[in-house]
Structures are given as structure tokens and as C-alpha cells.
Structure 1
Amino acid sequence: MTAPPSRSPSRRSRRSRLRGHHLIGSYGLPALAALLFLVFSVVLPDTFPTLDNISSILSSQSIPAILALGATIPITTGRFDLSIGYGLGLAHVVVLWLIVDGGWPWPLACLAVILGGTAFGVLNGLVVEYGRIDSFIATLGTGSILYAFSGWITGGARIVPGAGGLPTAFTDLYDSRFLGLPVSASYVAVLAAALWLLLERLPLGRYLYVIGAGVRTAELVGIPVRRYSVYAFAGSGLVVGCAGVLLAAEQQIGNPSVGIDYLLPAFVGALLGSTAIRPGRANALGTVVAVAVLAVGLAGIGQLGADFWAVPLFNGAALLIAVGLAGYSARRRLRAGAARSGGSPANGDAPRDLP
């Protein structure tokens, strides 16, 4: 009998390099978050590694994290929802308008806004899929309409509660604490876990990923592309409605233009998150890690005394890096899949994770 051929050193070396690249790609961003926290803790030992500072970071970044998770859902299908910032602004304005001017009970007002956000997400999906308009253009247009509604409802002014203020139970949605930390951080954890379960363990998530890998492939395996794309936009609208309720509980004043400030950080988190944990595709855990990197970085440079323009500079540079890294991760994933199957990586419509 002849002994089985041994693997060549070059093949073993190549596999070792691939494993190393996979580990760096998957866990490089979490390592960067830990490294940033360590560096700022050494530079600012009296203020940065404290429970108060950690609580402040968790509290201030909870709404951007929730919005980034909402943006992640359509991105799994290769679509983008640019209306999320405008929707956030309208949602928080409508909640306060219903409570302050309409006299609605706060639970009913919150439920109405969440259902309204979901319905608007469905409308976005219908415009994109059945109107056959590019998602960038369609959601930018619908977002501008939402912004107009915000101005119409408020008359361009802020909604300020009366002398009695807002119900304490409503403001506690944001102000209270859970296990010693801001309760808003627990919302992020619950939403991230729910999205992870949806996208990674349930057929619906697999269908969304296949659509994102290629519409033609999804149609060939029998997935109703339009229907599931509408589901993705509806999920985004649902999350935006919830984020609007939380923003209203935080600010307690209706500002019709505030939501636009959250648009860029949300997409930075969602796109940068697609380079971590599951490189090459949008995923909930990666989005949370990306938001953590941004939060630690912004908190650190803020405590170092950076000027006000450092925040948009940081977010803009991070967005460019995120888009570049996301494209690179997707191409590398496609090449790796083609190499395993013996096919050509030139076909960008190849399936990734069939259900």
C-alpha cells in the first residue's frame, strides 16, 4: 500500500495565512475597541476608565446604536434606507405632539408612532421594489417628505411640555437604570440579540442574505424578492419608531431637525459593522462592535479637548473607511467562495448562504 500524499508545506502555509486573515477580519474591530479603551484609559486615568464615564458612553450612544441596527436590516438585502434620520426626527416630534398637544396617554402615543414607523417602512419598500426606484434616491425623497411633515406639525418651532412636564413613567424609558447601567443600553442588547437570531438562525434572515448576494440567485431558488425586501424596510421602520420614542423620552423637547444628526453615525456603524464578526456582510453583532469603536473614539477625543468640528470629521473619515473595508471584505468573501467551489470570482451574483 502506498502512503497517502502529505500536504505540501505551501498549502499548509496558505491555509494558515487564510486562518490568520479570517481571525483579523472577524475580530480585528473588537480588538480595536479594546485597544482604544486601553489607550484612553492610560492617557486619561482619572476620567476615562470610570463607571460614570462608561455609563455616559452607553447612554449617549444607545440611540445611534439602535438606529444603526435598524439601518443594518435593509443593508442585508443590498438596499439602503436614507430616511431613517428624518424618520427619527418625525417620530420623536409626533410622540411629544400627541402627549403634549393631543393629550394622549403616553403608552398609546408610543404605540401609534411605532406602528406608524412600521407602516412607513412598508411604504418605502413598496416605492423601491414596485416603483423600481433605486433605494438611495427613493428613501432620500421619502425622507425629505418626512422632514417636511416634521416642520408642518411643529410650525418650525419646538414642542415644549407645559409646567407639569411629561409623565415620569415616560421619561423613565430613558432615564432609569438597569443593573446599575442606563436602561437604554439594555434596549440595544435586546435588539442586537433579536436581530442576531433573526438574521443568523431563522429562514427569514437567510432569505435576506441571499437577496443581498444577488437578486437573480434569490429568484432562481424561489425566494420572492420583492416581498422580503419590503419586510426588510418594514423592520427598519419599526426600529426607527422605537428609537424615536426613546429620543423623545431623552430630550423631552420636540426639535424637528434633530434626527438628521443621527443619519451619518447610523450608517457608519452599520457599514463598518459589516467588516467584523461576519466580514463581508451586514450583521447585528458587528454593528454593535462598530458603534462601540466609534463611541470610545468620540468619548476619548472629546475628553482630550478636541474642537466641535472633530466629531463630523471623525464620522466622515470613519464612513469612508467603513465603505472601503466593507467592499474589500465582500470581494474577499466572494473570492474565497469561488476558490472553494472551483468557480470564477467574476460573477458577483453568486449565492453566499443558501437557506
Structure 2
Amino acid sequence: MSVADEKIAPGEQEASASPARRRRPSVHDAERFALPTLLVLLLVVFSLMPEGGDTFISLINIRTVLSEQSVVTLLVLALLFPLVAGYIDFSVAAVATLASVGTASAMSDHDLPVLVAVLVGIALGLLVGLVNGVLIARLKLNGFITTLAMATLLGGLVQWYTGSVAIVTGISPSLTAFGSLTWFGVPRILFLVALAAVVVWYVLTQTPLGRRLAAVGANPHASRLVGVDVESVAMRSFLIAGAVAGLAGAMIVARTGSATVEGSTSLLFPALAAVFLGATAITPGRPNVLGAVIGVLFVAFSVNGLTLAGVASWVDPVFNGAALLVAIGLSTYLSRKRGMTVSR
């Protein structure tokens, strides 16, 4: 009887396979839960620090940080759609700035109702997403350069429209109340962010569009061979990203009661750091909603803890930049390890 014909007893087969089975899950779990574990450790360390520890762990501080990160979280959710499809949209923060000006102007200059003004902001985001989609998906322009150019263009248009003057009058009190007040001790805006996160999770994981986005991001050539309209899928990713970024712009007005021409860079880099950090957690190597939210919390509470500890003001941008570099490096490594396409 040959070796191939020999039968292995069930117990022996299980024993021979069990070491590999035990090793693989442990490594995978370490990758999945490294960032959440670091977040917990970070919260513990900053809460025990003699300087600022009591303030850091206070309910008021936690609520303030979460409320301040609501717009960044929406931008992270916007980034996920093109990122899953294999693209990076550098224009989302500029789109949010444009939408905030459009929303504020609709109320201040044209006396439109709150809901209509918010829809104006979302419509502006959709318009920019459509242009991005046509240029990148249809005309095959480089996504990196195109969205970066779009961000610069939008910044100039906003300055031209506003005359570099913030819109601070005529904002509806009902909109600012939504952005600043609470329900049951929880900032109202967080309920919207939580709903948006659940919807994005559902679309990306439970719908045909989400599966097509993931397929195109993993291998656009193979996706085209099995009948996926790659250009259409990419177009939709930029459209949805624009709409969500437009909603984020409306929420800027709700949070601050104004619309300014500055701030897109300060929103973009924390969002990029969070979304790439999130791609190293939960499903390592793949952008995902839960990991992205954890990334937002990690970046936000790191900066908040350092600020309360009394570090210099330059630490904030240095930390964001370093976190972005580390996050891109780790997510790229994990993506290549799993044979996925690096974002383009």
C-alpha cells in the first residue's frame, strides 16, 4: 500500500493540524485587535497621568471629543467608498468646506429652510463626486492627482464666492441646536453619525454594490472579466463619497454655527490617518467601518490627551502626520500580504 493510500486516524489528523490551526488564528487575532487594544491602553495611560488625567477621563471631556470628531467621522465614512474600490479621494475635506458654505449661504443669503439648505450642501457634494467620477472612472485620469487638484480648485472657488469672509449670520437656530445640544446626555449629532456608520457598514458588507466595490478594489481586471462594470462601480464610489462629504459640510455649520473658508486641511489629515489606521484593524488589509471608527477615536483621544498633558502646539500636526505615515505603511503591507490592489 502506498503512502497516498494510507489513512490517518481522525484523532491523529486533528492533532497534526491543530498546531497550525492554533498559530494562524493567534496571529490573525493579534492583527485584528492590535488597534483596539492600543486605544484601551492609551485611555488608561492618559487617565492616570498626574497632569490632565482627571479632566481627560471626565464625562464632559469625552463628550466634547466625540462631538468634535463627528465631522471627521463622516469624512472617514466618505473616504471608505473610493478606498474600498481602490482609490483615494483627497477632495472630501474641500467638498465639506464647499458644502458648509453652500448650506450657510442658502440660509443666510436666500432664506431657505434648514432641510433645503442641508440638501443644497449634499447636492454640491454629489456634483463634485460626479465630476471626480467622470474624470477618474471614465476619462482614466490618475485619481491621486485629480482629487488633489479638485481640492485645490474648490478651495479657490470658496474663497472667491465668500470673499474670504466667514458666513456667521442668518444660520437657523434649529440647525445649530442639533449640532450643540444633547439627547439623553449624548450629543445629538452623534446619533446621525452612528446612523450613517450603520448605513455605510450595511452598504459595504451586505449589498451587491459593496461586494462589487470590494472586487474592483481587489482586482479590477478580474472583475471586468466576470462582467462587473468597473467604471460604473468607481463612479458610484465617488458619487457616494461626495454626498457623505456634503452631509459633513452641513454638519460643520451645525457644529460651529458658521461657515469658513479655512479648515479643510485640518479635517483631511486626521480623517486619512483614521481610515488607514482602521484598515489595520478588525479586517486587516481591508478598509472597514468599525476599524475606521476606532481609528478616529485613537487619533482624537491621543491628541486630546497630549494637549491636556501640556505638550507644545506643534505636537498635534506632528502626531497626525506620523500617524498617517504609520497607518499607510501598515495598511499597504497588510493589503499586499493579502494580494490586494494598493489604492491608486
2:188 matches 1:183: yes
Count of matched residue pairs = 333
Amino acid at match of 1:231: R
User: What residue number does 1:50 align with?
Assistant: 58
Q: TM-score when scaled to structure 2?
A: 0.92
State yes or no: 1:101 paired with 2:101: no
How far has the Cα of 1:110 moved from its partner? 1.1
Q: Which moved more, 1:288-297 or 1:8-17?
A: 8-17
Question: Which piece of structure 1 moves more, 171-180 or 319-328?
Answer: 171-180
Partner of 1:247: 252
Counterpart for residue 328 of structure 2:
323
Distance in 1, matches of 2:194 and 2:106, equals 29
Report the alpha carbon displacement of residue 50 of structure 1 after superposing the two structures with TM: 1.4
* 1:223 partner SS: coil
Answering whether residue 38 of structure 2 is matched by residue 28 of structure 1, we say no
| Other structure's SS at 2:287 match | coil
Per the alignment, residue 280 of structure 2 pairs with 275
Q: CA deviation at 1:93?
A: 1.2
Report Cα offsets for 1:37-66 as digits up to 9, x if no partner.
111111144212211111011111111111
Gaps spanning 5+ residues in structure 1: where? 335-347, 350-355
**Is contact 1:89-1:260 (8 Å) kept?**
no
Identity %: 34
The one-character-per-residue Cα deviations of 1:122-176 (angstroms, maximum 9, x if unpaired) are 2211110111111011111122221121011101222231xxx532211122112
Query: Counterpart of 1:89?
Result: 97
CA distance in 1: counterparts of 2:164 and 2:48, whole angstroms: 46
Q: TM-score, normalised by structure 1?
A: 0.89
CA offsets 1:289-313 (integer angstroms, 9 cap, x no match): 1111111111110100111111100
Residue number in structure 2 paired with 1:343:
none
For residue 11 of structure 1, report the CA deviation from its aligned partner.
4.8
Render the CA deviation track for 1:6-34: whole Å, top value 9, x for unaligned. Answer: 24877533332211111111111111111
Q: Does 1:148 align with 2:156?
A: yes
In the TM superposition, what are the counterparts of 1:34-183 in structure 2 within 5 Å? 34-43=40-49, 44-161=52-169, 166-183=171-188
With over 3 angstroms needed to count, the CA separation of the structure-2 counterparts of 1:116 and 1:11, relative to structure 1, is: same
SS in 2 for 1:55: helix
Q: Is the 8 A contact 2:102 2:120 kept in 1?
A: no
Runs of at least 4 residues of structure 1 off by over 6 A? none
Quote how far apart the aligned CAs of 1:191 are: 1.3
Q: Is the 8 A contact 2:171 2:258 kept in 1?
A: no
Instruction: Supply the distance in 2 between the matched residues of 1:45 and 1:137 (Cα, whole angstroms).
Output: 43
Amino acid aligned to 2:184: L
* One-letter identity of the residue aligned with 2:44: L
Distance in 2 (CA, whole Å) between partners of 1:332 and 1:20 is 17
Paired residues of 1:279 and 1:333 also in contact (CA < 8 A)? no
User: Matches of residues 169-248 of structure 1 in structure 2 within 5 Å?
Assistant: 169-248=174-253
1:292 paired with 2:300, answer no
Say which SS state the counterpart of residue 292 (structure 2) adopts.
Answer: helix
| Equivalent residue in structure 2 for 1:19, among 13, 22, 25 | 25
| CA gap 1:250/1:13 in 2 versus in 1, 3 angstroms | same
- Which secondary structure does the structure 2 equivalent of 1:47 belong to? helix
Whether the 8 Å contact between 2:98 and 2:124 is mirrored in structure 1 is no
